[in-house]
Amino acid sequence: MFELKDIIYKDILKIDHLHIEDNKVSILTGESGSGKTTVLKLLNHLISPDEGTVLYKGKDIAALDPVQHRRNVVMLQQMHAIFPGTVKDNLTAGLRFADQAVPDDQLLEEALQHVHLRKSLDTEADGLSGGEQQRLALARVLLLDAEVFLLDEPSSALDEETADEVIAGFLKKVKQKNRTVVMVTHSKQIAERYADVPVHLEEYNQKSKDAAHER
Ligand SMILES: Nc1ncnc2c1ncn2[C@@H]1O[C@H](COP(=O)(O)OP(=O)(O)OP(=O)(O)O)[C@@H](O)[C@H]1O
């Protein structure tokens, strides 16, 4: 799905080659500061490498329309945004940005069930806890008709048991549609249980190898 070739990005990444497979769940792990978020940003074309190429389905993403690319490749950032308004407003915000039709309430409620968020659509979103807001942001992404989901620590605000349920529910839905997931997590349990392809970034990133040598 993605191919990173001869990448250099600032003093952060030096990756000779990294292949992200399609229709698989790749889980990126590595020490804090090893460059995981930076890799997701490259895949989403939020940043461009100083050197090297990022290919998406064989095409250089530098040549693709960034807006269209971000509709195909959706990213849930670590600091996910919650919009003013209700749970429903938040669920439909992503669809409106992506120019996609808003489904009926039943489908919106199903998305909430997939991420184990037991709240009604008319609940005010700013009254939700941090962990509930994180699940709401995940449900919002799940509703999008994307080819790839890039998730940056999507369960960081959840306890271990809830994180497991939520990630399992999200991935079940995504796998039914044969989509590709690239997820960053600090949870060993999530990485071990759900990675089709574990990607330990330090094995690919020459910069973090250099940093480890210096310590
Ligand atoms: N735009 C930037 N300019 C300069 N340095 C940056 C920039 N973005 C990130 N960094 C630095 O690059 C390194 C890698 O950051 P990144 O966020 O990719 O790491 P990470 O592996 O996702 O970390 P964490 O697990 O803590 O979220 C860090 O040392 C960070 O401070």
Token output for 61: 């993403």
Q: What CATH number has the domain bearing residue 120?
A: 3.40.50.300
Ligand 1 pocket residue status of 10, Cβ below 6 Å = yes
What distance in Å separates the CA atoms of residue 143 and residue 135, rounded to the nearest whole number? 13
Q: For residues 36-45, give the mean pLDDT.
A: 97
| Lowest mean pLDDT, pick from 54-58, 75-79, 104-108, 121-125 | 75-79
pLDDT of residue 97: 80
Using only the alpha carbons of the chain, give its radius of gyration: 17
Token output for 46: 């939020």
Residue 201 Cα: closest atom of ligand 1: 21
Q: For residues 34-62, give the mean pLDDT.
A: 97
Q: For residues 184-200, give the mean pLDDT.
A: 96
Q: Tell me, yes or no, whether 52 lies in a domain.
A: no
Q: Tell me, yes or no, whether 51 lies in a domain.
A: no
- Percentages helix, strand, coil for the chain (3-state, rounded to 5) are 40, 25, 35
Domain that holds residue 112: 21-46+66-214
pLDDT of residue 96: 83
Q: Tell me, yes or no, whether 148 lies in a domain.
A: yes
CA of 182 to the centre of ligand 1 (A): 17
Q: For residues 119-148, give the mean pLDDT.
A: 95
pLDDT over 70 at 209, yes or no: no
Token output for 68: 């269209």
For ligand 1, atom 27, the nearest C-alpha belongs to 32
Q: Say which DSSP state 146 is in.
A: -
Q: Tell me, yes or no, whether 70 lies in a domain.
A: yes
Mean pLDDT, the chain, as a whole number? Answer: 93
| pTM metric for this prediction | 0.94
Structural domains in the chain (count): 1
Hey, which residues does 7 pair with through a beta bridge?
Answer: 15
Q: Tell me, yes or no, whether 191 lies in a domain.
A: yes
Ligand 1 pocket residue status of 35, Cβ below 6 Å = yes
CA of 105 to the centre of ligand 1 (A): 39
pLDDT of residue 159: 93
Ligand 1 pocket residue status of 52, Cβ below 6 Å = no
Q: Tell me, yes or no, whether 207 lies in a domain.
A: yes
Q: Tell me, yes or no, whether 184 lies in a domain.
A: yes
Q: For residues 42-48, give the mean pLDDT.
A: 97
Ligand 1 pocket residue status of 30, Cβ below 6 Å = yes
pLDDT over 90 at 69, yes or no: yes
Q: At what angle do helices 160-176 and 105-114 cross, to 10 degrees?
A: 130
pLDDT band at 214 (very low <50, low <70, confident <90, very high): low
Q: For residues 39-57, give the mean pLDDT.
A: 97
Q: Tell me, yes or no, whether 5 lies in a domain.
A: no
Ligand 1 pocket residue status of 12, Cβ below 6 Å = yes
CA of 32 to the centre of ligand 1 (A): 8
Task: Work out whether strand 73-76 and strand 59-60 pair parallel, antiparallel, or are unpaired.
Answer: unpaired
